[in-house]
A and B are shown apart, each in its own frame.
Chain A
């Protein structure tokens, strides 16, 4: 069981929007920033969002991150077939002195 809780799956049709949630505890999301990672089939993960809502260069602005209290969300608008893959939230754990990941959400574009 992962320390951060994500729904196992999410789906939408092309052009629609989808939101993926990530919940944790005060020693994790509550006191540290959240980052999100996209893993397309057969590839290494790549950072999509860091510092709760910052996009690295090259990540389109239809991808949006937010955080409130001990929960965070990743929103993707204008779904495209190439968005299909697995999405993971992650944060620093103050009690573990290390990183923790969510269990991952498999996004399907119908």
Chain B
């Protein structure tokens, strides 16, 4: 079974750094793009970016370029999403998901989500 398991919920203060993780299993982790999607409280899905673990080629949405860093370690089948200085507006659920493509593209499966709360 293809599965993505994310790290647990985090509570941080503004200005702190944070890295959350996403471990894949049941498939060749290195040869599929894996990406991150943000869902702010009560809002819709926003695509943040993705990485190809085999060569670490990374693509970011313009909205998130420079705001976060996406990385991956193919030896441990784990992808990461990192902030160097959190803001209250980073409070959201973050989902990792395998990105299948090129066409026909789909995002499947999704991790269970990691809730990040940033509050002073």
Contact = CB atoms under 8 A, between A and B. Distances in A.
A90 B110 CA distance: 14
B7 interface: no
Q: Chain B binding site: helix, strand, loop or mixed by DSSP?
A: strand
B105 A92 contact: yes
A88 B45 contact: yes
B47 A98 contact: yes
A105 B45 CA distance: 11
Contacts of B112: 44
B5 to A, nearest CB: 11
Given A45-B45, A88-B45, A99 B104 contact: no
A97 B113 CA distance: 24
Interface in B96-120: 97, 99, 101, 103-113
Contacts, number: 76
A77 interface: no
Q: How large is the interface on B (under 10, 10 to 19, 20 to 34, 35 or more residues)?
A: 20 to 34
Contacts of A47: 106-109
A50 B108 CA distance: 10
12 contacts: A32-B105, A33-B103, A39-B45, A44-B110, A44-B111, A44-B113, A52-B104, A92-B101, A96-B61, A98-B47, A103-B44, A104-B45
Interface of A: 2, 32-33, 35, 37, 39, 44-47, 50-52, 54, 56, 86, 88, 90-92, 96-104
Given A45-B95, A88-B45, A100-B47, 18 more contacts: A35-B106, A44-B95, A44-B111, A45-B107, A47-B106, A47-B107, A50-B105, A50-B108, A51-B104, A54-B104, A56-B108, A86-B44, A98-B59, A98-B61, A99-B99, A101-B44, A101-B46, A101-B47
